Structure 1
Amino acid sequence: MNGVDFRSRHNDYMLRSPSRTSTDYKAMDDIEYPAVPPEVLEKDGLDDQVLEMRKWFKAWADQDDSERDYKKYFKPLLCYLEGAWTETDFGVVEEPFESDRHHVSASNWYDLQEKIRYTSYTGSKDKGENYAFLPTKIVDIDET
Protein backbone atom coordinates (compact mmCIF):
# COMPACT_ATOMS: atom_id res chain seq x y z
CA MET A 1 0.00 0.00 0.00
CA ASN A 2 1.69 3.12 -1.26
CA GLY A 3 5.12 1.48 -1.21
CA VAL A 4 4.89 -0.20 2.20
CA ASP A 5 6.04 -3.82 1.98
CA PHE A 6 3.96 -6.28 3.98
CA ARG A 7 2.87 -9.88 3.75
CA SER A 8 -0.27 -11.12 5.41
CA ARG A 9 -0.78 -14.55 6.82
CA HIS A 10 -3.01 -16.87 4.82
CA ASN A 11 -6.35 -15.18 4.46
CA ASP A 12 -9.77 -16.75 4.39
CA TYR A 13 -11.66 -14.00 2.65
CA MET A 14 -15.28 -13.60 3.57
CA LEU A 15 -18.07 -11.67 1.91
CA ARG A 16 -18.59 -8.82 4.38
CA SER A 17 -19.35 -5.12 4.51
CA PRO A 18 -18.80 -2.43 7.11
CA SER A 19 -21.45 -2.82 9.79
CA ARG A 20 -24.71 -0.98 9.28
CA THR A 21 -25.78 -1.51 12.89
CA SER A 22 -22.60 -0.97 14.91
CA THR A 23 -20.01 1.80 15.13
CA ASP A 24 -17.46 -0.46 16.89
CA TYR A 25 -13.95 -0.57 15.44
CA LYS A 26 -13.67 -3.37 12.84
CA ALA A 27 -17.40 -4.16 13.07
CA MET A 28 -18.56 -6.07 10.00
CA ASP A 29 -21.81 -7.57 8.70
CA ASP A 30 -21.94 -10.69 6.56
CA ILE A 31 -23.30 -10.21 3.04
CA GLU A 32 -25.83 -12.87 2.14
CA TYR A 33 -24.91 -15.10 -0.74
CA PRO A 34 -27.49 -15.11 -3.53
CA ALA A 35 -29.79 -18.06 -4.00
CA VAL A 36 -28.89 -20.75 -6.50
CA PRO A 37 -31.07 -20.39 -9.61
CA PRO A 38 -33.99 -22.86 -9.40
CA GLU A 39 -33.16 -24.05 -12.93
CA VAL A 40 -29.89 -25.41 -11.52
CA LEU A 41 -31.51 -27.10 -8.53
CA GLU A 42 -34.13 -28.75 -10.76
CA LYS A 43 -31.47 -30.75 -12.58
CA ASP A 44 -31.04 -34.39 -11.58
CA GLY A 45 -27.62 -35.22 -10.25
CA LEU A 46 -24.60 -33.13 -9.41
CA ASP A 47 -22.99 -33.40 -12.87
CA ASP A 48 -26.08 -31.91 -14.56
CA GLN A 49 -26.28 -29.16 -11.92
CA VAL A 50 -22.62 -28.25 -12.49
CA LEU A 51 -23.15 -28.08 -16.27
CA GLU A 52 -26.22 -25.86 -15.83
CA MET A 53 -24.42 -23.59 -13.36
CA ARG A 54 -21.57 -23.17 -15.84
CA LYS A 55 -24.11 -21.88 -18.36
CA TRP A 56 -25.25 -19.29 -15.78
CA PHE A 57 -21.64 -18.23 -15.19
CA LYS A 58 -21.10 -17.97 -18.95
CA ALA A 59 -24.22 -15.81 -19.33
CA TRP A 60 -22.88 -13.54 -16.59
CA ALA A 61 -19.35 -13.42 -18.05
CA ASP A 62 -20.77 -12.60 -21.51
CA GLN A 63 -23.34 -10.19 -20.02
CA ASP A 64 -25.99 -12.03 -22.03
CA ASP A 65 -29.29 -12.45 -20.20
CA SER A 66 -31.23 -13.63 -23.25
CA GLU A 67 -31.25 -17.33 -22.24
CA ARG A 68 -30.50 -17.11 -18.52
CA ASP A 69 -31.51 -14.02 -16.55
CA TYR A 70 -28.48 -14.03 -14.28
CA LYS A 71 -29.09 -10.50 -12.93
CA LYS A 72 -31.07 -11.50 -9.83
CA TYR A 73 -28.43 -14.09 -8.88
CA PHE A 74 -25.21 -12.22 -9.78
CA LYS A 75 -25.34 -8.96 -7.84
CA PRO A 76 -22.46 -6.53 -8.32
CA LEU A 77 -20.37 -5.73 -5.24
CA LEU A 78 -17.52 -3.28 -4.91
CA CYS A 79 -14.64 -5.21 -3.34
CA TYR A 80 -11.51 -3.62 -1.94
CA LEU A 81 -8.62 -4.33 0.39
CA GLU A 82 -8.13 -2.06 3.36
CA GLY A 83 -4.89 -1.57 5.22
CA ALA A 84 -4.10 0.40 8.33
CA TRP A 85 -1.25 1.03 10.73
CA THR A 86 -2.05 -0.39 14.15
CA GLU A 87 -0.42 0.30 17.47
CA THR A 88 1.40 -2.37 19.43
CA ASP A 89 3.28 -2.61 22.66
CA PHE A 90 5.58 -5.18 20.99
CA GLY A 91 3.95 -7.77 23.19
CA VAL A 92 0.81 -9.48 21.99
CA VAL A 93 0.22 -9.81 18.24
CA GLU A 94 -3.40 -8.94 17.54
CA GLU A 95 -5.25 -11.12 15.04
CA PRO A 96 -6.31 -8.94 12.10
CA PHE A 97 -9.56 -10.90 11.63
CA GLU A 98 -11.16 -14.18 12.63
CA SER A 99 -10.43 -17.38 10.74
CA ASP A 100 -11.52 -20.95 11.38
CA ARG A 101 -8.22 -22.34 10.10
CA HIS A 102 -5.46 -19.74 10.48
CA HIS A 103 -3.90 -17.57 13.15
CA VAL A 104 -0.73 -15.52 13.45
CA SER A 105 1.72 -18.12 14.69
CA ALA A 106 3.91 -16.13 17.07
CA SER A 107 3.99 -15.58 20.81
CA ASN A 108 4.74 -11.86 20.48
CA TRP A 109 5.74 -9.17 17.95
CA TYR A 110 9.47 -9.87 18.20
CA ASP A 111 8.93 -13.62 17.72
CA LEU A 112 6.90 -12.90 14.57
CA GLN A 113 9.64 -10.64 13.16
CA GLU A 114 12.28 -13.30 13.84
CA LYS A 115 10.23 -16.02 12.11
CA ILE A 116 9.68 -13.79 9.08
CA ARG A 117 13.38 -12.90 8.98
CA TYR A 118 14.35 -16.60 9.11
CA THR A 119 11.94 -17.67 6.38
CA SER A 120 12.97 -14.72 4.19
CA TYR A 121 16.70 -15.48 4.53
CA THR A 122 16.33 -19.22 3.98
CA GLY A 123 13.73 -19.10 1.22
CA SER A 124 11.39 -21.30 3.25
CA LYS A 125 7.83 -20.71 4.39
CA ASP A 126 5.49 -21.69 7.18
CA LYS A 127 3.52 -24.67 5.91
CA GLY A 128 0.48 -23.52 7.85
CA GLU A 129 0.73 -20.07 6.20
CA ASN A 130 0.42 -18.40 9.59
CA TYR A 131 3.28 -15.88 9.46
CA ALA A 132 2.78 -12.27 8.52
CA PHE A 133 5.35 -9.54 7.90
CA LEU A 134 3.85 -6.49 9.52
CA PRO A 135 6.19 -3.52 9.05
CA THR A 136 7.23 -1.27 11.89
CA LYS A 137 6.92 2.48 11.64
CA ILE A 138 8.64 4.77 14.13
CA VAL A 139 6.41 7.77 14.74
CA ASP A 140 8.05 9.52 17.70
CA ILE A 141 11.42 9.73 19.40
CA ASP A 142 12.15 11.72 22.54
CA GLU A 143 15.13 12.19 24.87
CA THR A 144 14.22 9.11 26.95
Structure 2
Amino acid sequence: MAPKTGISAVAAGIFQINTAVAGFRRLVDAIGTSKDTSEHRQALQDARKRIGQLVKETSTKLKSLIDANRDENPSKRAEEAKLARDFQAAIHDFQKAQKLAEKREEAYAPSPSRCPLPTRYLALSS
Protein backbone atom coordinates (compact mmCIF):
# COMPACT_ATOMS: atom_id res chain seq x y z
CA MET A 1 0.00 0.00 0.00
CA ALA A 2 2.84 2.43 0.77
CA PRO A 3 4.33 2.28 -2.75
CA LYS A 4 0.97 3.31 -4.25
CA THR A 5 1.00 6.35 -1.98
CA GLY A 6 4.50 7.11 -3.27
CA ILE A 7 3.38 6.73 -6.87
CA SER A 8 0.40 8.99 -6.22
CA ALA A 9 2.61 11.59 -4.53
CA VAL A 10 5.03 11.66 -7.47
CA ALA A 11 2.17 11.85 -9.99
CA ALA A 12 0.64 14.73 -8.01
CA GLY A 13 4.00 16.51 -7.94
CA ILE A 14 4.37 16.17 -11.70
CA PHE A 15 0.84 17.51 -12.17
CA GLN A 16 1.65 20.51 -9.95
CA ILE A 17 4.83 21.19 -11.94
CA ASN A 18 2.96 21.03 -15.25
CA THR A 19 0.26 23.35 -13.93
CA ALA A 20 2.82 25.82 -12.58
CA VAL A 21 4.78 25.73 -15.85
CA ALA A 22 1.60 26.54 -17.79
CA GLY A 23 1.06 29.56 -15.53
CA PHE A 24 4.71 30.56 -15.91
CA ARG A 25 4.35 30.34 -19.68
CA ARG A 26 1.36 32.73 -19.55
CA LEU A 27 3.52 35.17 -17.57
CA VAL A 28 6.31 34.80 -20.14
CA ASP A 29 3.87 35.48 -22.97
CA ALA A 30 2.96 38.81 -21.33
CA ILE A 31 6.56 40.06 -21.38
CA GLY A 32 6.79 43.03 -23.71
CA THR A 33 3.09 43.87 -23.45
CA SER A 34 1.35 46.55 -21.41
CA LYS A 35 0.98 43.95 -18.63
CA ASP A 36 4.77 43.75 -18.28
CA THR A 37 5.39 45.78 -15.12
CA SER A 38 7.86 45.41 -12.28
CA GLU A 39 5.12 43.55 -10.39
CA HIS A 40 4.78 41.19 -13.34
CA ARG A 41 8.54 40.59 -13.35
CA GLN A 42 8.34 39.83 -9.62
CA ALA A 43 5.55 37.34 -10.30
CA LEU A 44 7.85 35.67 -12.87
CA GLN A 45 10.61 35.38 -10.28
CA ASP A 46 8.19 34.00 -7.69
CA ALA A 47 6.89 31.44 -10.20
CA ARG A 48 10.46 30.37 -11.03
CA LYS A 49 11.22 29.81 -7.36
CA ARG A 50 7.99 27.91 -6.79
CA ILE A 51 8.58 25.61 -9.75
CA GLY A 52 12.16 25.03 -8.63
CA GLN A 53 10.88 23.99 -5.22
CA LEU A 54 8.27 21.67 -6.75
CA VAL A 55 10.95 20.08 -8.95
CA LYS A 56 13.19 19.53 -5.94
CA GLU A 57 10.40 17.97 -3.86
CA THR A 58 9.15 15.75 -6.68
CA SER A 59 12.67 14.64 -7.56
CA THR A 60 13.25 13.55 -3.97
CA LYS A 61 9.96 11.63 -3.92
CA LEU A 62 10.73 9.94 -7.24
CA LYS A 63 14.21 8.88 -6.12
CA SER A 64 12.82 7.51 -2.85
CA LEU A 65 10.12 5.61 -4.71
CA ILE A 66 12.59 4.04 -7.12
CA ASP A 67 15.02 3.14 -4.33
CA ALA A 68 12.25 1.60 -2.20
CA ASN A 69 10.96 -0.56 -5.05
CA ARG A 70 14.20 -1.87 -6.57
CA ASP A 71 13.12 -5.51 -6.23
CA GLU A 72 9.44 -5.03 -7.10
CA ASN A 73 7.64 -6.59 -10.03
CA PRO A 74 8.14 -5.36 -13.60
CA SER A 75 4.76 -3.60 -13.80
CA LYS A 76 5.69 -1.33 -10.89
CA ARG A 77 9.07 -0.62 -12.46
CA ALA A 78 7.31 0.24 -15.72
CA GLU A 79 5.00 2.63 -13.86
CA GLU A 80 8.01 4.25 -12.18
CA ALA A 81 9.77 4.57 -15.54
CA LYS A 82 6.71 6.33 -16.96
CA LEU A 83 6.69 8.74 -14.01
CA ALA A 84 10.40 9.40 -14.56
CA ARG A 85 9.75 10.18 -18.25
CA ASP A 86 6.83 12.45 -17.35
CA PHE A 87 9.02 14.21 -14.78
CA GLN A 88 11.79 14.73 -17.35
CA ALA A 89 9.25 16.11 -19.85
CA ALA A 90 7.95 18.58 -17.25
CA ILE A 91 11.49 19.74 -16.49
CA HIS A 92 12.21 20.10 -20.21
CA ASP A 93 9.07 22.24 -20.70
CA PHE A 94 10.12 24.46 -17.80
CA GLN A 95 13.64 24.86 -19.20
CA LYS A 96 12.23 25.88 -22.59
CA ALA A 97 9.95 28.44 -20.93
CA GLN A 98 12.86 29.78 -18.86
CA LYS A 99 15.03 30.26 -21.95
CA LEU A 100 12.22 32.12 -23.68
CA ALA A 101 11.68 34.25 -20.57
CA GLU A 102 15.38 35.15 -20.43
CA LYS A 103 15.38 36.22 -24.08
CA ARG A 104 12.27 38.33 -23.67
CA GLU A 105 13.40 39.86 -20.37
CA GLU A 106 16.61 41.00 -22.06
CA ALA A 107 14.73 42.39 -25.05
CA TYR A 108 12.03 44.30 -23.17
CA ALA A 109 12.12 46.63 -20.20
CA PRO A 110 9.08 46.46 -17.91
CA SER A 111 6.46 49.17 -18.30
CA PRO A 112 6.05 51.61 -15.44
CA SER A 113 3.66 50.42 -12.76
CA ARG A 114 0.08 51.37 -13.42
CA CYS A 115 -0.71 52.30 -9.84
CA PRO A 116 -2.10 55.83 -9.55
CA LEU A 117 -0.29 58.50 -7.57
CA PRO A 118 -1.50 58.96 -4.02
CA THR A 119 -3.64 62.07 -3.56
CA ARG A 120 -0.99 63.75 -1.41
CA TYR A 121 1.30 63.92 -4.48
CA LEU A 122 -1.48 65.40 -6.57
CA ALA A 123 -2.08 68.08 -3.92
CA LEU A 124 1.60 69.11 -4.05
CA SER A 125 1.46 69.84 -7.77
CA SER A 126 -1.50 72.27 -7.45
TM above 0.5, one fold? no
Higher strand share: 1
TM-score, normalising length from structure 2? 0.21
Higher CA-based Rg: 1
More RCO (CA 8 Å, sep 6+): 2
Higher helix share: 2
